[in-house]
Amino acid sequence: MGERKGNEEVVIVLGGGDLTGMGQGGYGFLAKTIQEELMNVGVQVSDEMQEVFDEIGKEAAKKLRETSPVNERSPQSGRYAKGWTYERGKRTRNWKCSGIVRNKTDPQLTHLLEYGHPIVRNGEVVGNFDGITHIANVAEWCAEEIDNRLAKKLGGN
């Protein structure tokens, strides 16, 4: 993985093969395998898969709203947490279903709050903020849920 600059937005991509938007993993081995096999045999179940992505995406946004850090001392308390949303992705020729969970109000904070950052006052580093892992936890949950729900919906165990 490349070096991070600190201004990247961290998102959860469902169906695009990259759960964090930053090259850190997949969205579930089963989902990827099912999509590849179905494309090979020409069977179209993309509507069912999109339904699963939509359900999980909405639940993931809700989980992030509940678990995101809130600065009680700020006059904009909770703005970051309230900004999580799910958007259905565009259908492309090769990939029929997708979605993205992202923070609409403060996307620049996702990386800083997830991974931490130095605290700078008057040009001097006076401390360090340790990140609060909240996006990675939901991303892991998404990967597991996609596998489980696709297996149920498409007739697996």
Selection from 139, 148, 133 nearest residue 100 by Cα: 139
Q: Is residue 43 part of a domain?
A: yes
What CA–CA distance (Å, rounded) separates 40 from 45? 13
Q: Is residue 2 part of a domain?
A: no
Q: Is residue 1 part of a domain?
A: no
- Structural domain count, the chain: 1
Only one residue has tokens 């090979």, namely: 40
pLDDT tens by residue, 51-100: 888 999 999 999 999 999 988 887 788 899 999 999 987 766 656 677 88
Residues in the chain, how many? Answer: 157
Which residue type, as a one-letter code, is found at position 9? E
Q: How many CB atoms lie within 10 A of CB 23?
A: 10
Reduce the DSSP state of residue 72 to 3 states and report it.
coil
Q: Residue 55: its pLDDT value, please? A: 93
Q: Residue 7: its pLDDT value, please? A: 57
Q: Is residue 3 part of a domain?
A: no
**Mean pLDDT comparison of 17-31, 35-49, 132-146, highest-scoring range:** 132-146
Q: Residue 157: its pLDDT value, please? A: 56
Q: Is residue 146 part of a domain?
A: yes
pTM of full prediction above 0.85 = no
